[in-house]
Amino acid sequence: MKSYLRALSFLTIVPLPHVQFGPGGGELSTSAACFPLAGATLGLTLAGSAWLLGLVFNPAPVAVIALILGFFLTRGLHFDGLADTADGLIGTTGREKALKAMDDSAIGVMGAASIFFVYLLKYTFLAGFETSFLMPVVLLFMPLAGRWAIVYAGAWFAPARNRGLGDLFLRELRWPILVKASIGALVLVGAFAWWQPHLAISVLAGCVIALACAHALAFYASLRLGGLTGDILGASSELGEMFFLAGFYFTLQVAVPGGPAAKAVIGFEQLL
């Protein structure tokens, strides 16, 4: 329970004044086992809000409001990491220049562009779901996939340097923590699959693609920087959310009988 509350306190603006973190980053790393659960808690808030707003508004404004709400409920914690990562890994060459750009509090051109494109894609995917059920479902699991991606990337790769909260967090993040986080995430996905089996493939595929994206980013960052930073983990969350939406959307179109993909196949067969 303490790990869950620490994860919720760190990842969101939920006021938990009695939750404390000791020095060294060990307690924060231990709480990473509950990051997917904390993400699902955030997702439950977003899903409920989207369902209520959907009673009044069309999907497009509901998608925008959900993204704004998610930003403020997390203090834009990973938003900043995405921008800094893009400035460092795309906007520079060389390890030291990249790390210096990532430490700079000002957002560069690459950082601004990455935020714009990632959130434009998030909005586009979300606006394509109806608000009575599908949008709340993806908003429930999108933050879970993003926070799971943080733990996954962090457990695979070492920190790039020896300073800062992100580096302390990475040094204490071990495989058993990833296993616990994965079990928690899979239990939630499994419970949903039991309730809505026709959407199980889409949810699971979205999560797998989110983790694969996080691994690819972390691998590239490790090659460039010699390891990961807190900004890389933040970017893993944001990109993990985006690729979860992409994976969910794509598999939904393919797997649903009578969906766009099925209609395209039928039309092609008729032409033949």
- Write the pLDDT tens digit of every residue in 234-254: 999 999 999 999 999 999 887
In a domain, 264, yes or no: no
Two tokens at 160? Answer: 């790039």
In a domain, 263, yes or no: no
Q: Side chain identity at 162, as an amino acid letter?
A: N
pLDDT at 22 over 70: no
Average pLDDT in the chain: 88
Domain of 250? Answer: 2-258
In a domain, 40, yes or no: yes
Q: Which residue has the higher pLDDT, 257 or 49?
A: 49
Residue 155 pLDDT: 93
88-107 average pLDDT score? 87
Domains contained in the chain, number = 1
In a domain, 233, yes or no: yes
Contact 153, 214 (CB under 8 A): yes
| pLDDT band at 269; cut points 50, 70, 90 | very low
In a domain, 84, yes or no: yes
Q: Which residues contact 82 (CB under 8 A, 6 or more apart)?
A: 111, 114, 115, 118, 234, 235, 238, 239
| pLDDT band at 266; cut points 50, 70, 90 | very low
**Hunting for tokens 């239990």 — which residue is that?**
187
Burial class (CB in 10 A: 0-12, 13-18, 19+), 267: exposed
Number of CB atoms found within 10 A of residue 80's CB: 19
Q: Pick from 56, 5, 63: which is nearest to 31 by CA? A: 5
Phi and psi at residue 224, to the nearest 5°? -80, -40
Q: Pick from 7, 5, 1: which is nearest to 151 by CA? A: 7
Beta bridge partners of 228: 159
Q: Side chain identity at 30, as an amino acid letter?
A: T
In a domain, 269, yes or no: no
| pLDDT band at 260; cut points 50, 70, 90 | very low
Report the SS3 class of residue 228: strand
Report the SS3 class of residue 114: helix
In a domain, 137, yes or no: yes
Residue 271 pLDDT: 41
| pLDDT band at 160; cut points 50, 70, 90 | confident
In a domain, 272, yes or no: no
